[in-house]
Chains A and B, each alone.
Chain A
Amino acid sequence: MSDTSTTKPRTAMASITFTPSGETIEVPKGTSLLDAAIFCELDVPAPCAGQGRCGRCRVRVASGEVERRSNAGMTTDEILEGWAVACQTYAGEGAIEIDVPERKKEKVRPHGHAIAEPESLPITCDYLQNPAVRTFSLAIDPPTLEDQTSDFDRLCRALTQQHGIEGVRAELPMLRRLGKDLRMANWKVSVTLEMRDWVYGSYLPPRLIRIYPDAFPHASMGLAVDLGTTSVVAYLVDFHTGRVVDSASAYNKQIACGDDVISRIIYAKREKGLERLHKLAVETINDLLEELQVRNGIELYEIHEITVAGNTTMTHLLLGVDPRFLREAPYIPTLSAAPKLVAGELGLSANMLARVHILPSVGSYVGGDITAGVISSGMYATDKLTLFIDIGTNGEMVLGNKEWLLSCACSAGPAFEGGGVRHGMRASPGAIEDVFIDDATLEPTFRTIDNAPAVGICGSGLIDLLGELFLTGIVDKSGHIDRNAPTQRVRVFDGVPEYVVCWAGEGGAQKDITLTESDVTGLLRAKAAIYAGFEVLCASVGVDLADVEQIFIGGAFGQYLNVEKAIRIGLLPDQPVERFHFLGNTSALGAFAALLCVSARLEVNDVASKMTYLELSADNTFMDEYTSALFLPHTDLIGFPSVSAALAARGSGNGNGG
């Protein structure tokens, strides 16, 4: 045996102190500053998940030794001042002091209505006959020396005798307090029961969620959540009336860890990344719960049931399940239907025994938000050939009727949410959402959200603007900006032509707001991916897009989409406008239906298990359709009669020939 055990060379360590929070952490040399900050749970944004693309994770190196691998987009002055891109800067040895700039608070409420409005349920919903959660008043015979039945059996006996409910179950946390609760209420109680379990139709007996003195005023509420990649919406539902009493929305707090699902999946691979994403999803929902609680004067323990509809990645992250295999071929989710959970297990601040139902997904990129959409739109129950689309970072779509359902997802990229576009932004105050360009002068007129001074262009504004630039001939069919267009507003900046939609100073704008040729390319790619999805979906079952009898547009972005203008750029098929129907937030509506109706829960499972999922990366016609759609409005003009007519009406087509 050798005893030459030399002392292992100690890994060189760095001691990083973050100011102003004062956190200090020891990390091995070579750890990225972003990883260190995540470890300390500091709020450093990383929309690109630390791939060094966005440059948003800026920190200032006040002292100490660091290694910079990239200074993405920073000026020399900034570098001299110590500014560094945290994900591309690595700790050296010894003491390092890092200044984390305080983040400007983003306005957290996305543009849109946050007011309560009556929401309709699918026709098949049988809330009144078969409610998911019910509350019963009970007058229980107090025990005596003669009647020695246990408290729980006594409660069950009263439920059977007074309401015909049999076989009620209770979980341990409930039993632990049952004896005291019954006696404090003097045996006159209200009990809230989850009436039936819905997982794969196996009817489990009713379950006790809550028990309280009958004399007290009490509410029985539920929460339907649309857990979107960008925005999260929650409906507060009164189980007594079956109505939505209020709704609230906020940006998903995970945005700080990546703008889109792919970035989040990448972020989840970092140390503590998955944990943080899970926590942020829960926090986002809890914040909404709190907001609704305060506004409606209820108690959190009065939230008796929760349904969540989200895409497959969001579902994985909410459950804290590693999503990485969604991104690696052959793109398999860890789960499609979630196990039975209660709020306490996930850390949701509702009643800890409240059931949390997560709507099942179909495939890696067709999630519970889409099955929710299919349910709330009623397309699973119609004879009509229906196309349901949800346009966002991913374009998800379902084709079919009550006989069959076929779905696919196309990666459109973040362009429609303002990502990757120089002056793109989400739909919030100051976003240009509506543009018109004069044929003769090529001057634009536009409107911003809340009429605030223009700060950027949101998705609907981008579609509008591109459509206008195209019809006026400033952008040609291949998406190139005509450098010789007779207007001051077309200029070349850094070798790339662009159109200035708003000059600095115009209506209080701080800077010139432009759409560049590269932005146009990004938008073309986004719309081409979605349109190609329609074509492939239709072709795979041998129908023509023109045979589709109704087109349902769901999803958050859909609400602000102008159909005519979306057709103009070839994002939507050129079909009569009457065929398009806006359904609002179909994901939230589906979650609402599943919250209230046991039948909807069974149907959503049925839909998820029946729906065929078409993986486009395994489809060799997709690329061909994509290239064909990578044109304005499309290479196949015959499919776009109304756009052809508009072009003809504007004088021998687009372009400056003649």
Chain B
Amino acid sequence: MTPVEIPVEKWSGAVREVTLGSSYGGGTRGSTVSVGGETALPFLGFEGAMPHRPAIAVEVQDMHPADWSAELQAAWGDAMDDAATWAQKAVEAGADLIALKLRSCHPDQGDGSCEDAVRTVERVLAAVPVPLIVYGPGSADKDNEVLVAVAEKTKGEQLALGLCEDKNYRTIVAAALGNGHAVIAQTPIDVNLAKQLNILISDMGLPLERVLMDPNTGALGYGLEYTYSVMERLRLAALMGDSMTQQPMICTAGEEAWRQKEGRAEGDVPEAWGALAERGVAWEISTATTLLESGADILVLRHPASVSAMRDALDDLTKGA
């Protein structure tokens, strides 16, 4: 038998390395998380390096998310009433980072003040040693207000601030620039738009080593294939040396998966769907695994069981790499 030669692809480009969290210069983190740096497609150790294992963030909100699936409410229980407690439980569950969403500041969700937001961030920072991702409430003007306040009060912590979008990025980027933070640039599932926002952010002078990109994610059954191909194209472009696509990717797999009816519907569904208890988590894991394979560097998850399942998956995938 003739031995089969496995073709090995050599790439000229590499993904940029981005580090979140800092323990000096104002930073108080016990651990930091670095992502990116790949010189090959995900988990293809024989073609190139994947110096950092993809990280897992757990989403925590600053108010009890009553609209979340009953499954998630049951999993986190009372911890959901307090962001700091929730974050602690998330770290216990295996989170490498906390993704804190300042939802209560949204004009439709109580219009909480910047002071409250800053206080919440500070309490979470005090409660856990891991780095923080901080999302604004998701309303452009309020995002700008809140994230600027947070950025200033947490100078040096090297947070990731989100979301920057093409219509609203200047204020957030400026806040990150002046206070040593990173940003998350989100664009709607398109290679060119992702690239364009990276260019705009970089034009403001923020080093690209402080930019994560969120290519926007669809859940399993809700456009995941499209997301997959866009992420793969972004990663291929990065490896081929296209500088403005070389940002590590962050994917909100949990939010997408749990938003779908498969993660929430109970009772009136076909028997073949199985019990919600397993279905929701399975949906999140399937979504997250696919995204890992297409190049995700940070997965933002919601269910503790998904977190441990994805940690196992990563152990397997990186074995021997």
Q: A655-B200, A657-B177 are in contact. Are A627 and B205 (CB under 8 A)?
A: no
Once the chains are docked, how many angstroms separate the CA of A67 from the CA of B192?
A: 47
- The answer to whether A653 and B196 touch across the interface, beta carbons within 8 angstroms, is no
Interface string of A618-658 (1 = CB under 8 A from B): 00000010011011000101000000000000001111111
Q: Does B206 make an interface contact (CB < 8 A)?
A: yes
Name the contact of B199 in the complex, choosing from A477, A480, A657, A658 (C-beta under 8 A). Answer: A477
List chain A residues, Cβ under 8 A from B173.
657
- The answer to whether A627 and B192 touch across the interface, beta carbons within 8 angstroms, is yes
List chain A residues, Cβ under 8 A from B200.
476-478, 655
Q: Is the interface of A mostly helix, strand, loop or mixed?
A: loop
- The answer to whether B195 and A657 touch across the interface, beta carbons within 8 angstroms, is no
Interface string of B155-174 (1 = CB under 8 A from A): 00000000000110000011
Q: Does B204 make an interface contact (CB < 8 A)?
A: yes
- The answer to whether A657 and B196 touch across the interface, beta carbons within 8 angstroms, is no
CB distance from B167 to the nearest CB of A (A): 8
- The answer to whether B192 and A624 touch across the interface, beta carbons within 8 angstroms, is yes
- The answer to whether B166 and A478 touch across the interface, beta carbons within 8 angstroms, is yes
Q: Which of B177-209 contact A (CB under 8 A)?
A: 177, 190-193, 195-197, 199-200, 203-206
Once the chains are docked, how many angstroms separate the CA of A485 from the CA of B204?
A: 14
Once the chains are docked, how many angstroms separate the CA of A657 from the CA of B205?
A: 5
- The answer to whether A658 and B205 touch across the interface, beta carbons within 8 angstroms, is yes
- The answer to whether B206 and A477 touch across the interface, beta carbons within 8 angstroms, is no
For A, the interface residue count at a CB cutoff of 8 angstroms equals: 18
- The answer to whether A478 and B205 touch across the interface, beta carbons within 8 angstroms, is no
List chain A residues, Cβ under 8 A from B204.
655-657
List chain B residues, Cβ under 8 A from A630.
192, 196
Q: A652-B205, A657-B203 are in contact. Are A477 and B192 (CB under 8 A)?
A: no
- The answer to whether B196 and A477 touch across the interface, beta carbons within 8 angstroms, is yes
Interface string of A574-608 (1 = CB under 8 A from B): 00000000000000000000000000000000000
Counting residue pairs across A and B whose Cβ atoms lie within 8 Å, the total is: 45
Category for how many chain B residues contact A = 10 to 19
Name the contact of A653 in the complex, choosing from B174, B177, B195, B203 (C-beta under 8 A). Answer: B203
Q: A477-B200, A478-B166, A478-B200 are in contact. Are A628 and B192 (CB under 8 A)?
A: yes
Write the chain A residue with the least CB distance to B173: A657
Once the chains are docked, how many angstroms separate the CA of A313 from the CA of B195?
A: 38
Once the chains are docked, how many angstroms separate the CA of A654 from the CA of B203?
A: 6
Interface string of B69-110 (1 = CB under 8 A from A): 000000000000000000000000000000000000000000
CB distance from B148 to the nearest CB of A (A): 14
- The answer to whether A635 and B196 touch across the interface, beta carbons within 8 angstroms, is yes
Write the chain A residue with the least CB distance to B191: A624
List chain B residues, Cβ under 8 A from A655.
200, 203-205
List chain A residues, Cβ under 8 A from B191.
624
Write the chain B residue with the least CB distance to A476: B200
Once the chains are docked, how many angstroms separate the CA of A657 from the CA of B173?
A: 9
Write the chain A residue with the least CB distance to B166: A478
Once the chains are docked, how many angstroms separate the CA of A141 from the CA of B74?
A: 115
- The answer to whether A631 and B196 touch across the interface, beta carbons within 8 angstroms, is yes
Chosen A-B contacts, 27 in total, with CB atoms closer than 8 Å, are A477-B196, A477-B199, A477-B203, A478-B166, A478-B196, A478-B197, A478-B200, A480-B167, A624-B191, A624-B192, A627-B192, A630-B196, A631-B192, A631-B196, A635-B196, A635-B199, A637-B199, A654-B203, A655-B200, A655-B203, A655-B205, A656-B204, A657-B203, A657-B204, A657-B205, A657-B206, A658-B205
What are the 4 tightest A-B residue pairs by CB atom distance, in nearest-first order? Answer: A657-B204, A657-B205, A655-B203, A627-B192
Residues of A within 8 A of B (CB): 476-478, 480, 624, 627-628, 630-631, 635, 637, 652-658
Given contacts A477-B196, A624-B191, 7 further A-B contacts (CB under 8 A): A476-B200, A627-B192, A628-B192, A631-B192, A631-B196, A652-B205, A656-B204
